[in-house]
Amino acid sequence: MWAQAERYLGVGTRSYSRFSADLDVDDAYHPQRGSDSFEVPTFWVADGVGEYLTNGLPSALHQLYRGDGRFLLPVHPQTLAMLADEVLGVLRACEPGPVLTVVPSANVRTVFVLRHGPAAVQPHFVKLHYPRRLSRFTRRLRLPIISVQLWVASELCGIGAPVLPEVGAGVLGTDRRHAWGYLLRELDFAEPDGFTVPMFALYGQDLRAPDDPTLLEQLIVLSGSSPGEFLTDRLVRPMVRLWTRAATQTGCALEMHGQNTLFSFSASGQESTVGYRDCGVYVDPTVRTLRGLPVDDLPPINVMGRDVRFPREQVFSLAYDSFLGHHTLSFVARLGEQRYGVPPSVLQEAAREEFAACPEAASLLPKTVAYYDDQLHDDGGWELVDTGAAPEWR
């Protein structure tokens, strides 16, 4: 169900900015227009030509990607077609590995892996280097951001957060800034009899059955809860709790938009969990210092006050007010009002109560909302601006 939800239940959800629907990808690899699966070539890269990294989290996935003195490097077919001759020469000198049979996820460059060559494997995610623009940014996956994701995953697991952790990675090259590669991400944190979908799949329309009620509407019926109760207690409050918990206990500003926020539910609809994936987030050393957490092992980038030049309050606002609030909960609120007549203020008040229940969180954010400026930058960078808007979800 997860792969189907990723690909087909997002109609109408890529409308939160004028760049959000941009996907520079050929039809063969497109989540909606592509075939059921496609193949990703791999190469056995010798230690020294590249590097395999872990963060200490146990995982059976290492056995699939780590060999004796070498590791497996998957490369997206469109990335392979763009590589410089020098890099292609390095890869051609490597022994070919098993072709991966994969299914694209909603964000294109993260894929579900189903098979290594002819052998079925434990389903998992691989996040691939993809130097093309998806939404606002070109999606390169270089060593610095790989290091961030491994570090943050370890931190979130350390507080017991419901996260799909990145557990390993491989990079080609030895340059600490420009070596590029992939990340391994575990697939499941839910109960064995449950289902997990990205949050956007709850409120998005089905591409193949546009007249069907949304999954969220179906779950409300299945649960027997009132719409207002389901929306506030099963979605809004758990999302805010997870965000404030991560921010105040680890200094990590989770980006809980509709792709990264996950919803797991039992077959009966009576139980559910809000979770998270994709640990490429910003980290605040001030929070960590105040909590007595170490700050001498921080990742090489994405550290507020060091390489992130915007005020920490604005960075936290981008993550909470814009990603969690505007990019996700505003869609939930719109559906609740249109389908059930639940005023958005009901959901917003529940979010404010949960936010206020964590007093430490209030000092992290500014009085007004920060968001990206409304343009693309030639260098792939980004700017934050104070929109002047009052926050709706805190």
Considering the domain boundaries, does residue 41 fall inside one? yes
150, 242: one domain: no
Q: What are phi and psi of 205, to 5 degrees?
A: -80, 155
216, 349: one domain: yes
Considering the domain boundaries, does residue 7 fall inside one? no
- Residue 301 is part of a domain; what is its CATH number? 1.10.510.40
Given 185, 216, 250, the domain boundary residue is 185
C-alpha closest to that of 263 among 273, 253, 255: 273
Sequential DSSP letters for 313-378: HHHHHIIIIIIIIIIIIHHHHHHHHHHH---HHHHHHHHHHHHHTSHHHHTTS-SS-EEE-SS--T
114, 222: one domain: no
State how beta strands 100-104 and 66-67 pair: unpaired
224, 307: one domain: yes
C-alpha closest to that of 183 among 172, 167, 162, 163: 167
29, 175: one domain: yes
Tell me if 125 sits within 8 A of 110, measured CB to CB.
yes
133, 251: one domain: no
Considering the domain boundaries, does residue 4 fall inside one? no
Show the domain range for 237.
194-386
Domain count, the chain: 2
222, 274: one domain: yes
27, 137: one domain: yes
173, 241: one domain: no
129, 245: one domain: no
State how beta strands 180-185 and 166-172 pair: antiparallel
Tell me if 258 sits within 8 A of 277, measured CB to CB.
no
* The model's pTM: 0.94
pLDDT in tens, the chain (394 residues): 788 899 999 887 776 666 555 667 788 898 888 889 999 999 999 999 999 999 999 999 999 999 999 999 999 999 999 999 999 999 999 999 999 999 998 888 899 999 999 999 999 999 999 887 766 556 789 999 999 999 999 999 999 999 999 999 999 999 999 999 999 999 977 555 789 999 999 999 998 999 999 999 999 999 999 999 999 999 999 999 999 999 999 999 999 999 999 999 999 899 999 999 999 999 999 999 999 999 999 999 999 999 999 999 999 999 999 999 999 999 999 999 999 999 999 999 999 999 999 999 999 999 999 998 877 666 667 789 999 999 999 9
Considering the domain boundaries, does residue 8 fall inside one? no
Considering the domain boundaries, does residue 285 fall inside one? yes
The single-letter DSSP state of residue 27 is: G
Considering the domain boundaries, does residue 26 fall inside one? yes
158, 199: one domain: no
